[in-house]
């Protein structure tokens, strides 16, 4: 078992660096795959990571994380919501 100091060293990256952006991307994907957490909290966390990546200019990492969010959306969407293209009310 690793100590918390070793764990901290593994994730240490300068805020706003490419390593930091890639770390956020990896962690965002892990969040989406964490079936023990509530779906709403997972969506909120990933959306905040996407927004942070975009605000720091890491559009590629934000785009990839958004694609992962769409990939897992059928597991995360609120009950009763209709996926795009599957009916629903038209105006």
Q: Which domain holds residue 55?
A: 37-78
Q: How many domains does the chain have?
A: 1
% of the chain exceeding 70 in pLDDT: 71
Asked if residue 43 belongs to a domain, the reply is: yes
Asked if residue 1 belongs to a domain, the reply is: no
pLDDT for 44-69, tens place per residue?
A: 999 999 999 999 999 999 999 999 99
- Report the pLDDT value the prediction gives residue 91, as an integer from 0 to 100: 46
pLDDT at 90 over 70: no
Q: Concatenated DSSP letters for the chain?
A: ---HHHHHHHH---TTSHHHHHHHHHHHHHHHT-TTS-HHHHHHHHHHHHHHHHHTT-HHHHHHHHHHHHHHHHHHSPTTPPPTTS-----
pLDDT at 36 over 60: yes
- Report the pLDDT value the prediction gives residue 30, as an integer from 0 to 100: 96
Q: Give residue 19's pLDDT band: very low, low, confident or very high (50, 70, 90).
A: very high
Asked if residue 61 belongs to a domain, the reply is: yes
**CB 44, CB 7: distance < 8 Å:** no
């Amino acid at each position: 078992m690793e100590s918390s100091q070793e764990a901290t060293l593994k994730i240490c990256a300068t805020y706003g660096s490419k390593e930091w952006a890639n770390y956020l991307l990896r962690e965002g994907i892990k969040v989406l795959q964490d079936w023990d957490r509530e779906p709403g909290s997972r969506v909120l966390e990933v959306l905040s990571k996407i927004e942070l990546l975009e605000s720091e200019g890491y559009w590629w990492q934000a785009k990839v994380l958004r694609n992962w969010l769409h990939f897992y959306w059928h597991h995360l969407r609120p009950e009763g919501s209709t996926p795009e293209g599957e009916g629903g009310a038209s105006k």
